[in-house]
Structure 1
Amino acid sequence: MTGRDRLRELLDAVLDEDNHTLAEMAGEAYASPFHFSRVLSRDAGEAPVAMRRRVMLERAAWQLRQGGSVTEAAWAAGYESVEGFSRAFARAFGRAPSTVDATTGHWLPAPNGIHFHPPTSLWVESTEHAMNPLTEQLVAHALDDTRHLIEVAAGLTGEEYRARRLPGLVVQPWDGPEESVQAVLEHLVCTVEVWLASIEGRDLPDRDDDPGAARLLERHDAAAPGWLAVVRDVDRRGGWDDRLIDALCEPPESFVLSSVVAHVLTYSAHRRQLVRHLLRSAGRDIDTGDPIDWLRARRGETPGGI
């Protein structure tokens, strides 16, 4: 599914809590019920009411996996009774909702690859698979190098760590100034935290007002394994063209997973070199961060070895 208007219709039809009928969905999309149903059925291969019912059941399964009650899941899915919800859930998933646990999947077969993704968004599964054998090394190097830089920064005094060495520097407009070792390292860690939370459907992490190097190292070590695991999973199933459609954005934004990983890697590399420049300006010796050297060290090879 591509195109802003179509995404808006899908999101309105599937996610709007106030739209329970075809007429309400169509009205939200400023279309007649006949036209709305025809266009959506043609382009998505699934009637809007059936799509909403399936995605709401997927959301219910996810809620149950998180420990929610059957009653709560039933009301949230728009069912008037727990019994009716339980019958529909059992028909769809082949098991009673009361038997759902953390190991239960929450996606149902879909003709279009459109699925619920927590907390309030859709996931559009790609039908085309592409593998990139370099990605794991690139991600692992970025994570290891970030940890290395935080450890070096831990040797700075508080004044050196927070000093505004690059006044007015802005890497991304929405992130604000990154003028110190502390600011650049915090954004390095936070970028991984935010995208990991988005992909896993968790709440966005809280930002520390004045994180020290030890605190940043804790946050990095908590997020790094999950981020690497996500990339490995995407690579394993060839999901690089999958789309995460975020309904919380206005207007809705869709993100291709390969572009998300490329985004993280690009700005990670830039910021890591910024930190090196800042550390040198503080009088600290620091390596170049070359991935060739990193991989050689990881494999126990000597420089220049064959």
Structure 2
Amino acid sequence: MTETDPLRRLLDAVLEADGASLEEMAAGAHLSPFHFQRTVRRRAGETPSAMRRRVRLERAAWSLQGGAAVTEVAFAAGYDSVEGFSRAFRRAFGCAPSDLPSRAERGHWLPAPNGIHFHSPTTLYVDAGRARESSSGDVLTLLVQHDLDDVDVLLTAAAEVGEDAYRAMRLPGSRPRGFDGPDETLAQVMRHLVLSREPWLASIAGEGEPDLSGPDDPASLAARHRRTAPRWLAMLRDVDRRGAWQDAIVDALCDPPESFLLSQILAHELTYSTHRRQLARWMLADAGLDTTAAHLDPDPILWHRRRTGEQP
């Protein structure tokens, strides 16, 4: 979803306001409180206050599962006391904050009418208005969401290794996709994982060639991924809704221009992204990171169970 998307602006006003009052949230969207509340409820199926409270509790659960202290999480979530936070948390999750299972055992999402959730580490994904359970029977959406989520996980892991380890030569001669250049370092692999969808999105939308320059440290790439991933999901939803996977585009960004089926583009990206995600794991392990941790397990079955809270 682009930064100028009206729903995105409304969500930012709900979640990024300094205070939790309706007036403060509405001010962030430059709307009256009445119009703001009515617009959010109509477009998201949830009042601004309820959405803000739910997403902040999801973020709190994610932080607790990562080892943060209850007191720290309570005040970060905007509560005046640990007791008040604990009561709200217990009502939402059915257990005390200190008793929350690990990420390996359940996800951190709460039921929502709109598919809008806190998505670790810092991303808010909008799942095209669908509730979180809907992807269970849609293998294409599941594969794409897993791919995007896993890139998030790897970017977080890459931030844990030092700069020298991030840029160290680990696999001389590695070049999975020739026109991209080498994938010999973790930095190169992570850069390609994040940037590879942008030219396709530009071609499908009829836009000019995207600027693929810029910093390639994990934090910068994570910020870029937060902008691109929702657009990629939105493209998938739109094509799938129209049954247009056999439609073709002429990619004018190629030299010479070349035609591609939309189905070919998605299969192409999933294939190379899957390879690079595993390559990144090997490089992270080679850099000394413990890649056997549950949250780094790339298995889509375990990922989906963590995401939905499903028990095996």
Q: 1:299: which partner in 2? A: 308
CA offset at residue 203 of structure 1?
Answer: 2.4
Query: Under a length normalisation based on structure 1, what TM-score does the superposition of the two structures give?
Result: 0.54
Q: 1:233: which partner in 2? A: 238
SS of 1:244's equivalent in the other structure is strand
**How far, CA to CA, are the matches of 1:269 and 1:257 in structure 2?**
18
Distance 1:250 1:197, change over 3 A: closer
Matched, 1:266 2:275: no
Deviations 1:189-231 (A, max 9, x none): 1111221121112223222354111100011000000000000
Which has more radius of gyration? 1
Q: Which amino acid aligns with 1:203?
A: G
Deviations 1:98-121 (A, max 9, x none): xxxxxxxxxxxxxxxxxxxxxxxx
SS of 2:228's equivalent in the other structure is helix
Query: Under a length normalisation based on structure 2, what TM-score does the superposition of the two structures give?
Result: 0.53
Deviations 1:152-206 (A, max 9, x none): 1011110011111111111111111111111001001111122112111222322
Q: Unaligned 5+ residue runs, structure 2?
A: 1-136
CA offset at residue 145 of structure 1?
Answer: 0.3
Alignment of 1:171-190 (within 5 A): 171-190=176-195
Q: 1:288: which partner in 2? A: 297
Matched, 1:142 2:151: no
Structure 1 runs of 4+ with >6 Å offset: none
Q: Which amino acid aligns with 2:210?
A: P
Distance 1:147 1:176, change over 3 A: same
Matched, 1:191 2:196: yes
- TM-align CA RMSD: 1.6
2:203–2:252 Cα contact (<8 Å) kept: no
Q: Percent identity?
A: 50
**How far, CA to CA, are the matches of 2:188 and 2:139 in structure 1?**
29
**How far, CA to CA, are the matches of 1:205 and 1:226 in structure 2?**
14
Q: Unaligned 5+ residue runs, structure 1?
A: 1-131
Q: 2:206: which partner in 1? A: 201
**How far, CA to CA, are the matches of 2:155 and 2:172 in structure 1?**
21
